[in-house]
Structure 1
Amino acid sequence: MEVEGEMAMEGGTGEEVKGGEYRRVILISAGASHSVALLYGNVVCSWGRGEDGQLGHGDPEDRISPTHLSALDGLGVTSVTCGADHTTAYSESCVQLYSWGWGDFGRLGHGNSSDFFTPQPIKALDGVRIKQIACGDSHCLAVTLLGEVASWGRNQNGQLGLGTVEDSLVPQKLQAFQGIPVKMVAAGAEHSTAITEDGEIYGWGWGRYGNLGLGDREDRLVPQRVSSVKGEKMILVACGWRHTISVSTSGGLYTFGWSKYGQLGHGNFEDHLTPHKLEALRDHFISQISGGWRHSMAVTSDGKLYGWGWNKYLVVLGGFFAISSDTAWRWCLVSLLADTGGNSWWRWCWFGQVGVGDNVDHCSPVQVLFPHDQKVVQICCGWRHTLAVTDRQNVFSWGRGTNGQLGHGDSFDRNLPTIIEAMSFDGSSGRQIESSSVNLLSGKFWIPSSGRFAVVPDETMQGQVAVSQGNGSDASVPENDMRIG
């Protein structure tokens, strides 16, 4: 749900991460409970929740520290993007987009609803040059070098922009942008947005909270231009779960949509159905933005980071806990299990994804501070955690850590930025980043329990895989389904 501009093109030889050699982080991305980073030399690392294969290491195991994704070595990966429980990587040299993870609703683009536990090429996009990818909860968007847009995955609210509510198992071109070059796209849980090369913003999909910016709460099945911002051209857009953030050419920050937890930043908890300028940051020029599940982040041109919105999850009262929900508080009984490794059951109740040292929701921007006044050069929100890269070439994370998505070697939450030692210049020098052991040519893949879509080894074809047809409804991937580049 982060903002990504044009692909990072810094390369290298793709040599292995060994001996604790420090590698500068080029890109970061965060999903619901996992994180991915692209390091100098086209090296990809992932960590966090792995149950749905979103880490790409060939198994369903969590990784509590950054782990080298060796399956992508030698492919020249230049960009990585997380969806909620899936991941994509693009190779400029191979002109190929790869995806892996949870495959329900066709969000991986492979023509089926199967889960993949290692990166697989999206055949429908073979040879299509892509400048930007956006992944939401269950759908994906891609912008080609020509400014055309393709979408695939879940479409129950029209978030694919194809004029229907039918899911798409393979990428399809959006006809609504014919003749309208698109600069960038963003994807929320069930809505999508785009900014055109001439600075216009478009919204489509689920619009119940005004997150499309069109002045109402209606869904849209095709992209529709937002006309409420007079005289301002937009250059950046990001989606949270049910809210949207945009930045104008003058550096002004606008938010709209759902604000129950203060994620719009206007000092209250009121929804806005059209883009509303964030007055608290009016004296700053905003250079980067990112939207989480219910929180938001913005970086100023001088490297200051501000956060606001939802900052906690569960409230513990003795042997009970309250779960925050959209409609009510639901009370549940917790069995007090034996403490293992000092990780008491109550310790993961407070997330702190805003990063300001407390667990209180913030309806106005609050500055996030870093050691030695480091400036932020990159920011990315996951659902309940946040990642940042500073000008000292350090990577920090904070928020929920239950599945190891913070990358600190444990499963604790943090409510202040904490350095990821293995990926930071000021971290533990000599610390080795472990590599995943999966070998794509070995034919060995983890096979989930029956009833779940999975990648199954084809014993007759060395180094290739066949897809199990769990419900008989999966489609074959057409070799030339799409030619949009």
Structure 2
Amino acid sequence: MQLICFATLCQGTCTFFRRPANFAPDFELSISELAALDMCQKRAIFKPMTGEERLALKQKCGGSWKLVLRYLLAGEACCRREKSQAIAGPGHSIAVTTAGAVYSFGSNSSGQLGHGTVEEEWRPRLIKSLQGVRIIQAAAGAGRTLLISDAGRVYAFGKDSFGEAEYGVQGSNLVTTPQPVESLKDIYVVQAAIGNFFTAVLSREGRVYTFSWGNDAKLGHQTEPNDLEPRPLLGLLENVPVVQIAAGYCYLLALACQPSGMSVYSVGCGLGGKLGHGSRTDERYPRLIEQFQALNLQPMVVAAGAWHAAVVGRDGRVCTWGWGRYGCLGHGNEECESAPKVVESLSQIKAVHVATGDYTTFVVSAGGDVYSFGCGESSSLGHSTAIEGQANSRKNLLSPELVTSLKSINERVVQISLTNSIYWNAHTFALTDSGNLYAFGAGDKGQLGTELVAQQNEGGNPERHVPERVDVDLS
């Protein structure tokens, strides 16, 4: 990211001198600082900020406009803000176009598709009630959906609670169309992440807020299980700008941008070593994962699966840790790792993106190739190889393997999203740089967005073994 930021800054400096500046001169700033400020003003998140808010962000980032620019670029890169995206939720799916329109399909028993009904949708359907609102981020959980607009507003629908004590529990009402979350109206939100017991949101200033899962101070505050008020995540991250958050089943990861570089913090349940601190103890407050310093790795993208986690470094290396069941860590075995460990079998590729689910992991290379490993159930790994003598069962992969079915589409994949839930058969999306969306895995509720003909396993659950294009244009 430092190299990208430097190249961007050089380009911005040249552009800066080709036309009149759109702000008053500041003779105390260097040329590079002026160019960085000019480029910051072009970012969607920075534009609506007041002068006071901008100076506060500058101070939080380390007192330099170049550091503010690095923070803004890092957030855009790892979260695909302002770009198309697809979310493979638990039983339902959300697709956001570059223009900010939203399509949803799949399970809808709680109204989580946002169409005003509780009927399933087997094809992508536009959420018409959002007309005039541009959405830049989406998050999907069990029976609920969150959308974030370019104005920083959060819209929620489905179950009317932000935390689930157990599967099947829901609030007293079902919300079947997107409604603004009033408790967040004074916070400019840029990203949301949904775990099983809690929901977290990230403000444009890089501050993390959480809902629920606080009756035992699991996330550092003492609240009721279904608390609807956002609580700031206290501790080490209070004065450190966060660019990305990722929620697992019972833990949260935060990618932070500091003057010294990028770092990852974790908080929540430590079973299986998924917090990455070399132990299996819980953490009530965010704690720095120190292993990346020992590995000399600068984290650039973080992913939190249900029970395991992964990071992509600036140099393209991939690290995984946590529960190793089914080989989801990619180290050739099923052992747990309580601290980040480099996936050596991926050493010959430069990774740019990683996605994690329920014991499954995907890695995207700079060239657009896709590798997967872990649990082969529901065909969600994208490999058509069946277990010998069991035509309807897919083998687990203990090490990364190239997803040849995606390579054959002759398009460059830029994002993978897969179901991150232990309660639903998994499905997977692959988004290409041309805006085409491909789906595979379980489709029992229509969450693939494609027709399924004679592709059922012995249990009667429809699934797609190889990727098929979804009829929706995200470009």
TM-score calculated relative to the size of structure 2: 0.72
How far does the alpha carbon of each residue in 1:110-156 deviate from its partner, in whole angstroms, 9 at most, with x for none? Answer: xx764322111111211422232222234222221211111113347
Distance in 1, Cα, partners of 2:97 & 2:445? 22
Question: 2:401 corresponds to which letter in structure 1?
Answer: V
8 A contact 1:232–1:249 mirrored in 2: yes
Greater helix proportion: 2
Partner of 2:61 in structure 1?
Answer: none
CA 1:58–1:4 in structure 2 vs 1: closer, same or farther (change >3 Å)?
farther
Distance in 1, Cα, partners of 2:234 & 2:201? 14
8 A contact 2:207–2:242 mirrored in 1: yes
Question: 2:395 corresponds to which letter in structure 1?
Answer: V
Alignment partner of 2:312: what SS? strand
Match of 2:427 among 360, 372, 385: 385
Between the aligned residues of both structures, percent identity stands at: 29
State the shift of 1:4 in Å. 8.1
How far does the alpha carbon of each residue in 1:391-427 deviate from its partner, in whole angstroms, 9 at most, with x for none? Answer: 34321011111111111034730121111134479xx
Match of 2:400 among 353, 365, 377: 365
Distance in 2, Cα, partners of 1:373 & 1:145? 37
Distance in 1, Cα, partners of 2:468 & 2:214? 37
How far does the alpha carbon of each residue in 1:279-329 deviate from its partner, in whole angstroms, 9 at most, with x for none? Answer: 1111222111111112111111111111111111xxxxxxxxxxxxxxxxx
Corresponding position: 1:5 with 2:78: yes
Distance in 2, Cα, partners of 1:285 & 1:113? 48
Alignment partner of 2:129: what SS? helix
Gaps of 5+ in 1: 11-25, 313-350, 426-485
Partner of 1:375 in structure 2?
Answer: 412
Match of 1:98 among 148, 152, 155: 155
CA 1:250–1:376 in structure 2 vs 1: closer, same or farther (change >3 Å)?
same
Match of 1:279 among 332, 335, 344: 344
Distance in 2, Cα, partners of 1:245 & 1:157? 27
Distance in 2, Cα, partners of 1:254 & 1:158? 29
CA 1:361–1:55 in structure 2 vs 1: closer, same or farther (change >3 Å)?
same
Count residues with an aligned counterpart. 365
8 A contact 2:382–2:466 mirrored in 1: yes
Partner of 1:128 in structure 2?
Answer: 187
8 A contact 1:83–1:138 mirrored in 2: no
Q: How does 1:195-206 map to 2 (within 5 A)?
A: 195-198=255-258, 199-206=262-269
Corresponding position: 1:41 with 2:99: yes
State the shift of 1:42 in Å. 2.2
Partner of 1:217 in structure 2?
Answer: 280
Distance in 1, Cα, partners of 2:376 & 2:120? 24
Corresponding position: 1:61 with 2:116: no
Alignment partner of 2:274: what SS? coil
8 A contact 2:162–2:199 mirrored in 1: no
Q: How does 1:236-247 map to 2 (within 5 A)?
A: 236-247=301-312
Question: 1:356 corresponds to which letter in structure 2?
Answer: H
Higher relative contact order (CA 8 A, sep 6+): 1
State the shift of 1:163 in Å. 4.1
Partner of 2:465 in structure 1?
Answer: 415
C-alpha RMSD of matched pairs (Å): 2.3
Gaps of 5+ in 2: 1-75, 165-170, 386-393, 421-425, 453-460
State the shift of 1:382 in Å. 1.2
How far does the alpha carbon of each residue in 1:176-230 deviate from its partner, in whole angstroms, 9 at most, with x for none? Answer: 2211111211001111111110312111111111100011111111111111231
Distance in 2, Cα, partners of 1:166 & 1:31? 26
Alignment partner of 1:409: what SS? coil
Partner of 2:54 in structure 1?
Answer: none
Distance in 2, Cα, partners of 1:247 & 1:156? 34
Structure 1 stretches of at least 4 aligned residues deviating more than 6 Å after TM superposition: none
Alignment partner of 1:393: what SS? coil
8 A contact 1:104–1:115 mirrored in 2: no
Distance in 2, Cα, partners of 1:96 & 1:143? 12
Distance in 1, Cα, partners of 2:101 & 2:447? 18
